[in-house]
Each structure stands twice: as C-alpha cells, then as structure tokens.
Amino acid sequence: MIRLFDSVFGEVRDLDLRDPGRLSMYVCGPTVYDLPHLGHGRFTLVWDVARRWFTFRGLDVHFVSNITDIDDNIIARAEREGRTETAVATCFEAHWWEAMDRIGVARPNDVPHATQYVAEMVELISTLLARGVAYPTSDGIYFDVSRVADYGLLAGQPLESLRAGARVEANDEKRSPLDFALWKNVKSGEPSWPAPFGDGRPGWHTECVVMSLGLLGDGFDLHCGGFDLKFPHHENERAQAVAAGRPFARHWAHNGWVMVGDQKMSKSLGNFTSLTDLLEKTDARAYRLLVLRSHYRSPIEVSPATIADAERALGRLDGFARRFDLPRLAGRRLEVGSTFAWPAPALELYERVARCLDNDLDTPLAIALLFDALSSANTAADRGDESSARELALGVNALFGALGLALAGDGATVDPASAALVTQRDEARGQKDWAEADRLRDELVHLGWIVEDSASGTQIRKS
C-alpha cells in the first residue's frame, strides 16, 4: 500500500485509488514566459520520482501535466519584445522540454495546453454563472468564494480568517478580496476568445480545473504541485469544481521549495537561477541526487556547495557502476519492478527500500540504504565474493534506476594513442620499471585521463 502525506488532512494516509491498480495524477505545470528555474527543476524531479516509483511498484499511472501558454506574463513579455504571445510561449516551451530532457524527467502521458481548452473553460464559466456562483464586473467574470461552504479547506483556515489577512485592493468591484477572476475581458491588442459573456481570456485557476477534469475525469486520484500553489491556486481550482458539482481530486500533495540562502526562490524576489544555467556546468544527475537526498516536503538549499557535494557523491556511484560494469538504466523509460530478477540479497534490499518509498516517498532513507548496500557490495567484492557482490550491485542499480538516476558505468571511448600508453605502462609495471610507469601515468593524466590500477591492469577514464 502506498502512503502519502495529504495536504487536506495534514497527515500521511493510504492512497485510496478511484480504480484499484490505476493512478491518475495531475501536476500543475509551468507558465512558459521565461527559462525554467531551479524551483521548476525541483518540482518536476519530485513528481517524476513519484511517478516512476508508483510505476515501478506496478501501478498503471496516468500522468498529466499542463503548459500554461496564455497569461499576463506572456502578454507582457510579448509586448515588451514586439513578438506575438504564441511566439513567446512556443519559444519558452521549447526551452522547457529541453531542460526536462536533460534532467531526465519523463514526458507526461498528456500535456494539455491552456489555449486548447478555452471552449471547455467557457462552458465551465457559463455553468458557474448559471448557478449564481460567478458574477460579472467591468473587467471580467469573478468567482464568489462565499458560495463554497468549505472554502479554505486547503488553506487550513476558514474563509473569515483568510479574508482578515487579505490585502486591501483599491477600487474593486469584487465582492470579496478573495474572489478571483475566471475570465478577463478582452483589452486591445491582447489575444482573446469568443464567449457568450464577452470576448476575453481565461484566468489561471480555471485552466487547471478544466484540464485536469477533462483528461483524468471526475474524482481523479492525486493533484500535486509546489506548496505555494496550495493557496490560492489549488483552493480555487477545487472551489470551481465543487461549485460546478463535480468531484475533484481525492488526494493533494505538495512539494517544498528551493531556498537560496535563507529565502525561498521566487519570482517576486527575483533571486532565481535558471535550470538551463545550472545544466550548462553540472551533471544533471547531481541535481536529481540532491533532490532525492532530502524529503520532498522539505525545503532544499541549492548552492554551488550543495551541488558540488552531490557531484562528488555521484562520482562514487559512477565508480561503483564501473567496478561492476552495471547496465545503464532509467533513461526515458519507466522501469517496472516485476521485470527485474531479484537474487536474495537484492530482493531484501528492494523490500527495505520499498518500505521507505511506499511510506510518503522517503527518498533520503532509501538513498541511505542504497549507499549502505553499495558499501556491502564493495566489501564482498574486496574479499573475493564476486557473485554475491554483483547480485547486490545489480539490485542497487535497479533501484537507482527506479528513481530515474542512471549510474554511469560505461567509460569513455579510449583513443588508440592513449590505449597504446596504457599498454606500455602495463609492460613497464610488469618489469617493475616504476620510473617509466610513473612517466606514462603523468602523460595520460596530461591527456585528461584518471588512471586507476587494478588486478586486471591499468584502467583509465575521463576526468
């Protein structure tokens, strides 16, 4: 049984699925008006890991994540740069997928785009108007939050206390500061779609509720996103579904954010680093390992120091993969646990790791167990027990693969000149000509190789 912290109940609960064996999950995706930043990297990695693990455990996962391709920020950027909104969205969506590919985030089963669902949004807004839970103002259609009895469920506080903390908005026709725009009336020069209540464009909160229900159906299993989306975004999505009489997500899960120093990385603070920049100078797997080493609900510190730390740890994993010549797993493919043959020591490891991950995705504990197993395998190999060492190593590799972390066992191709130096060095060593052996090693190092001696002779790899 998979258990996950549910944001509504504030506790870890059994994942109670709509259809046993099948899991429908929706993750709020990006608004494509700028390069993806580290926060995007974290949430996509967290939910990619979740999806991979659920799949590994045998669930048939239907994973949907959207692209918001129309909103104020896109319009503003288009205007500033003299491009069309479509051009801006297309450009940054391309950057998005490039980054996703590089950090090894598997593509969702469906990627709805907001602009493709406008007709359904218009329909929902019409329903809400007909039911009297939405009302027009001079600049659009608003949702009346007072009409949803349990508004504040996700925020964890009642409407009245939310209202007390809301900032005062000057000169507004809104009935409550908490009411939100379902539809924004067309302004000159801005893209718009026709609607019986006036041409315009949809509000952000309306997009996700329509797309999630549209692709996953009423009462889908799991709705995920960053903690900062819990309120008001998810609250408002839910409010619309409830007001329209449609069962919404059965479970809610939220991930912690990326910290820069002591502060949250956020748009308003302008302190974000683009994921694209990070990937320029870092092995993308290091970011995945960094994410895996802390719990998904905890904040993580991403800095040159923590990234470097993860890179060194990754180096150890890669050395392990080389030692046992492990097959490279976990690319675009989602692994399924039942397809692996688990020898006894590996099976025990799998069961222990599964206990951690099934329990609210405790990846840090799982990683700790995997590092322990790695040491055990090395120890076994050191004392000459090659076969059980290898069995355990294969298990470690399969489990890292399950989490989307490919251990790199395959070395770089060795050019003939370097290969010749290796041969000469082995000969020199055979004759105990240490001076010559050291000279040849220096030469290889100079060529950019890391030189390691082993029982089977000189091994080199790129540094």
Instruction: Name residues contacting RNA, limited to 78-117 (CB under 7 A).
Output: none
Stretch that binds RNA, among 52-60, 130-138, 299-307, 346-354 (CB under 7 A): 299-307
**For tokens 């000057």, what's the residue?**
170
List residues bridging with 68 in a β-sheet: 31
Stretch that binds RNA, among 141-149, 173-181, 395-403, 414-422 (CB under 7 A): 173-181
Q: Which is nearer to RNA, 150 or 452 (CB)?
A: 452
| Token output for 370 | 């995997």
Q: Which is nearer to RNA, 60 or 173 (CB)?
A: 173
The nearest distance, CB 217 to RNA, in angstroms, is 22
Count of residues making up the chain: 463
Please give the DSSP secondary-structure letter assigned to residue 167.
P
Stretch that binds RNA, among 306-314, 331-339, 392-400, 413-421 (CB under 7 A): 306-314
Give the binding-site size for RNA (rule: CB under 7 A).
86
Alpha helices in 57-138 (DSSP H): 72-81, 85-102, 118-130
Q: In degrees to the nearest 10, what's the CA dihedral of 176, 182, 187, 190?
A: 140
* Contact predicate 254/227, CB 8 Å: yes
The nearest distance, CB 60 to RNA, in angstroms, is 25
Q: Which is nearer to RNA, 60 or 453 (CB)?
A: 453
Among 93, 101, 110, 309, binds RNA (CB under 7 A): 309
The answer to the question of residue 312 lying near RNA (CB under 7 A) is: yes
Residues 245-274 that bind RNA (CB under 7 A): 255-259, 262-268, 272
The nearest distance, CB 245 to RNA, in angstroms, is 24
The answer to the question of residue 343 lying near RNA (CB under 7 A) is: no
Residues 421-440 that bind RNA (CB under 7 A): 429, 434, 437-438
The nearest distance, CB 339 to RNA, in angstroms, is 27
| Burial class of residue 73 (count of CB atoms within 10 Å of its CB; 0-12, 13-18, 19+) | middle
Number of H helices, E strands in the chain: 15, 15
Residue 62: which H helix or E strand, with range?
strand 60-65
* Contact predicate 275/103, CB 8 Å: yes
The answer to the question of residue 49 lying near RNA (CB under 7 A) is: no
Q: Which is nearer to RNA, 166 or 341 (CB)?
A: 166
Among 116, 161, 387, 423, binds RNA (CB under 7 A): 161
Residues 7-26 that bind RNA (CB under 7 A): 10
Query: Cα 99 to the chain's mean position, in Å?
Result: 11
Q: Which is nearer to RNA, 60 or 427 (CB)?
A: 427
Query: 439: which residues sit within 8 A by CB, 6+ positions away?
Result: none
Q: Which is nearer to RNA, 147 or 205 (CB)?
A: 205
Residues 177-216 that bind RNA (CB under 7 A): 177-178, 180, 204
Stretch that binds RNA, among 17-25, 136-144, 164-172, 329-337 (CB under 7 A): 164-172
The nearest distance, CB 312 to RNA, in angstroms, is 4
Q: Which is nearer to RNA, 396 or 398 (CB)?
A: 396
The nearest distance, CB 341 to RNA, in angstroms, is 24
* Contact predicate 154/238, CB 8 Å: yes
Nearest CA to 235 among 265, 194, 204?
A: 204
Q: Which is nearer to RNA, 18 or 322 (CB)?
A: 322
Largest CA distance in the chain: 92
Distance CA 202, CA 263 (A): 32
Among 123, 228, 283, 443, binds RNA (CB under 7 A): 228
The nearest distance, CB 264 to RNA, in angstroms, is 4
Nearest CA to 27 among 157, 266, 158, 221?
A: 221
Cis peptide before 232 (omega within 30 of 0): yes
Cα–Cα distances (Å) from 18 to 5, 69, 220, 222, 433, in that order, read 17, 30, 7, 10, 71
Q: Which is nearer to RNA, 38 or 244 (CB)?
A: 38
Query: 7: which residues sit within 8 A by CB, 6+ positions away?
Result: 154, 230, 252, 253, 254
The nearest distance, CB 362 to RNA, in angstroms, is 6
Pairing of strands 180-185, 140-143: antiparallel
The nearest distance, CB 262 to RNA, in angstroms, is 4
The answer to the question of residue 73 lying near RNA (CB under 7 A) is: yes
Q: Which is nearer to RNA, 17 or 101 (CB)?
A: 101
| Burial class of residue 138 (count of CB atoms within 10 Å of its CB; 0-12, 13-18, 19+) | exposed
| Token output for 457 | 């002779």
Residues 351-380 that bind RNA (CB under 7 A): 362, 364-365, 367-368, 371-372, 374-375, 378-379
